Structure 1
Amino acid sequence: MILAVAVAAQAATSALVYGLPFVIPALRAEENLTLAEAGTLTVIPILGLLLALIAWGAAADRFGERIVMTIGMAGAGSATLAAAIVPGIVPLGALLVAAGAFSAAISAASGRAVLGWFDVRERGLAMGIRQTCQPIGVGIAALTLPPAAQAWGYRSALLIPAVFCLAMAVLVAVALLDPPRKPGAELRATRSPYRFARLWRVHLASALLVGPQFVAGTFALTYLVTEQGWHAVTAGAALAAVQVAGAAGRIGAGVWSDRVASRMRPMRTIAVAAALAMLVWAVGDAVAPWLAAVGLVAAMIISVTDNGLAFTATAELAGPAWAGRALGIQNTGQNGMALAVAPVFATVVTAIGWPWALAVAAALPAAAVLLTPVRGETLEPL
């Protein structure tokens, strides 16, 4: 039950924070924005997420997951509802930042709640299931936001994630239970896990792996519509189906890590595959549309499968007294990369074209291969 509630809550905020790029065509048409401007505006909730993640993680460590997640869901839904109503681009951006800041509560606390209820031998699977929340949320956005934006405008489309978040706030308040805490655990484990390099390397490698994930996730619809001639609704439906495969990949990666008693070896293999997928997309754009589509789909699926591994490793390395803060820092690094990807990649595409820009993006997972701390890994009880 706890796992199901956590997945549903995080899916709602994922539809808000990561699903807005699906309204880019409507946003550009209604507001006369460039690709870089529209891409930046649709990922601006991530800025709010970045500003609040560590604080929400510390709050979860201190006050528990249930109250933190309930406040976050209600705030995210209310801010998004206001963004759909209040006129003007600047107020829209400010309210989306506020929505992202409230949604950070779920990112920091839901993973802590899930990990607190599961044993080390099943934690990879549990966290893999929890991490399906992002593909599920993005899939819901891909199915609903393009037709809503096309029919009623992009602001009306914002009502969908707003209502989703408000409904999940009620579910969290009613059904979520905080995991049991051992008396005195916080006092016994006060030393910072950041005095060792391994946790820093996990954060950095997983942040680099966000690069291909957000290049594909942010620009897939735009690429298929403008470069390949697809209809926006058709492309949205196809990308929603891809999210299902991405969700299955996260579960499979979690099971894999439990079976081999390692989070980092599977993560390094995924980094290699993500770099190759981006190169296939780049070559395909230059030589054959079908190959570009294969590379895009492969990048969207492969690049999301490592997230659960990095989150699980972060909590295991941090321990119960630091798990909320460490997951907040983990999320901060990943979302910092996500926030930078949209404007930077859009600028690079404009300057040198899609094939070379995609080849440059492939360097990010290639660097993650070298940074992933495989040697000396042991799985410790949380």
Structure 2
Amino acid sequence: MVPTPVRAWVVLALGVLAQTAGTLVVTAPALLIPHLHAQGLSLAQAGLLASAPTAGMVLTLIAWGAVTDRIGERVVIAGGLALTTLAVAGAWLAGDDTLLLGVAFLAAGMTSASTNAASGRVVVGWFPKERRGLAMGIRQMSQPLGVTLAAVTVPQLAEASGIRSALVLPVLLCAVLAVLCAAGIADPPRPPRKPAGAPHPVGTGANPYRATGFLWRIHAVSILLVVPQFTLSTYGLVWLVTLGWSTSAAGLLVGAAQFVGAIGRILVGSWSDHVGSRVGPLRVVAVSAAAVMAVLALVDVAHLPAAAVVLVVATSVTVADNGLAYTSVAEAAGPSWAGRALGAQNTGQFIAASAVGPGIGALVGLVGFAGSFLLVAVLPVLALPLVPRADRSQD
């Protein structure tokens, strides 16, 4: 096995930190829901405001991916973080003005999408296939780590000092990492670009969406599986508060659950390397996600004392699919299309995620948390027949 260059690990570390900062920015509004609700907004209205960053990401993910394919990862990641710093600073200036806050959160989502599209592509470019599952699992730690960081800071700061206090860390972190990524990230080697109009041999630049339905199926599976994940990251804290937990204690538990989920992503990625398959483990994760959401519904109905344990397990399971699907999409798309394909992958997921805030908020108002968890459990079941039977790779 050829040793992985040190540069690859440096780039991976910076990619993880960049994506963690982006996730912190996108997640922070969801963890402001208790504060916003206490200020007079309905749960559905607060959820709509919290979904603004994910809606912004939907608008720009594919575009960021296309830019990454053309000019490289370093400029996109560093430049995107610089723009995100400005957007979050705008949210800080907006304070409690709901309309301006929503616009700033939307802009922050649009700019932070750069790290989603480019940080995954740079990992695929620097790591060989036999280590890619592990590397992408490490990279995918960034999302639960970002949620963890948000969960242990945002609710407490908002409750104590208001929204502006809660947004100081995202501004500072994005600004520092913009500088570090500009200095430390190196674009991976890529195949030479074909002249316009020249034919592309299979796997070197041909549109992978026209060859088979593999990418479309993975996108669809990921859309269905992201709903349980965002249901818990958006409303897990609110659910615990309804069970009698304090906001600060609930935030710490949500943060701990996300950290455990981050470790789980590494293990699942390593597992996929070991078995030589992404779609096989993805199928197991889908079954497990349906099971844990059903158990959460049971805990809520029966008022079982195991809420904390079940939430940690459920959070870990529902975030486990991302790295598998992300790696699978990048491998199937090939180096010339990876940025756009990963942008499309994230776009589908964040369209669904944007609906979770207001949608699940309204659903909870109609059928309660137990009914909502049970309905969400149906989605991973629907995803199962869509998971391809075999992997597809252009390596």
Q: Does 2:167 align with 1:158?
A: yes
Offset at residue 247 of structure 1 (A)? 0.5
Q: Does 2:104 align with 1:95?
A: yes
Q: Does 2:23 align with 1:14?
A: yes
- For residues 298-377 of structure 1, the aligned pairs below 5 Å read 298-373=313-388, 375-377=389-391
Counterpart contact for 1:50–1:332, Cα < 8 Å: yes
Q: Does 2:83 align with 1:75?
A: yes
Query: For 1:259, which of 250, 264, 274 is the aligned residue?
Result: 274
Q: Secondary structure at the residue paired with 1:52?
A: helix
Instruction: Indicate the residue corresponding to 1:105 in structure 2.
Output: 114
Runs of 5+ consecutive residues of structure 1 not aligned to the other structure: none
Counterpart contact for 2:51–2:355, Cα < 8 Å: no
Q: Does 2:226 align with 1:210?
A: yes
Q: Does 2:250 align with 1:235?
A: yes
Give the distance between the partners of 1:119 and 1:286, measured in 2 at CA. Answer: 47
Counterpart contact for 1:185–1:321, Cα < 8 Å: no
Offset at residue 20 of structure 1 (A)? 2.4
Offset at residue 19 of structure 1 (A)? 3.2
Query: For 1:44, which of 43, 52, 65 is the aligned residue?
Result: 52
Instruction: Indicate the residue corresponding to 2:6 in structure 1.
Output: none
Instruction: Indicate the residue corresponding to 1:133 in structure 2.
Output: 142
Give the distance between the partners of 2:258 and 2:236, measured in 1 at CA. Answer: 12
Counterpart contact for 2:334–2:393, Cα < 8 Å: no
Offset at residue 303 of structure 1 (A)? 0.5
Counterpart contact for 2:253–2:308, Cα < 8 Å: no
Amino acid at match of 1:224: L
Give the distance between the partners of 2:70 and 2:193, measured in 1 at CA. Answer: 13
Counterpart contact for 2:191–2:335, Cα < 8 Å: no
- Decide whether aligned partners of structure 1 residues 25 and 315 sit closer, same or farther in structure 2, where only a CA change above 3 A counts: same
Give the distance between the partners of 2:318 and 2:190, measured in 1 at CA. Answer: 34
Give the distance between the partners of 1:185 and 1:370, measured in 2 at CA. Answer: 37
Counterpart contact for 1:314–1:327, Cα < 8 Å: yes
Query: For 2:67, which of 43, 59, 65 is the aligned residue?
Result: 59
Cα-Cα RMSD: 1.3
Deviates more, 1:306-315 or 1:363-372: 363-372
Counterpart contact for 1:120–1:380, Cα < 8 Å: no
Amino acid at match of 1:267: L
Give the distance between the partners of 1:27 and 1:156, measured in 2 at CA. Answer: 14
Offset at residue 86 of structure 1 (A)? 2.3
Figure out how many residues of one structure are paired with residues of the other and give that number: 378
Offset at residue 185 of structure 1 (A)? 6.3
Offset at residue 166 of structure 1 (A)? 1.1
- Decide whether aligned partners of structure 1 residues 376 and 242 sit closer, same or farther in structure 2, where only a CA change above 3 A counts: closer
Q: Secondary structure at the residue paired with 2:130?
A: coil
Instruction: Indicate the residue corresponding to 2:5 in structure 1.
Output: none
Give the distance between the partners of 1:83 and 1:19, measured in 2 at CA. Answer: 11
Counterpart contact for 2:272–2:324, Cα < 8 Å: yes
Counterpart contact for 2:122–2:187, Cα < 8 Å: yes
Percent identity (aligned): 47
Offset at residue 17 of structure 1 (A)? 0.5
Offset at residue 183 of structure 1 (A)? 2.2
Offset at residue 84 of structure 1 (A)? 1.0
Give the distance between the partners of 1:184 and 1:167, measured in 2 at CA. Answer: 33
Give the distance between the partners of 1:351 and 1:182, measured in 2 at CA. Answer: 53
Amino acid at match of 1:123: R
TM-score between both structures, scaled by the size of structure 1: 0.96
Give the distance between the partners of 1:129 and 1:27, measured in 2 at CA. Answer: 33
Report Cα offsets for 1:145-164 as digits up to 9, x if no partner. 11211111023212221211
Query: For 1:34, which of 37, 42, 52 is the aligned residue?
Result: 42
Report Cα offsets for 1:158-203 as digits up to 9, x if no partner. 2221211111111111111100112246863332111111110001
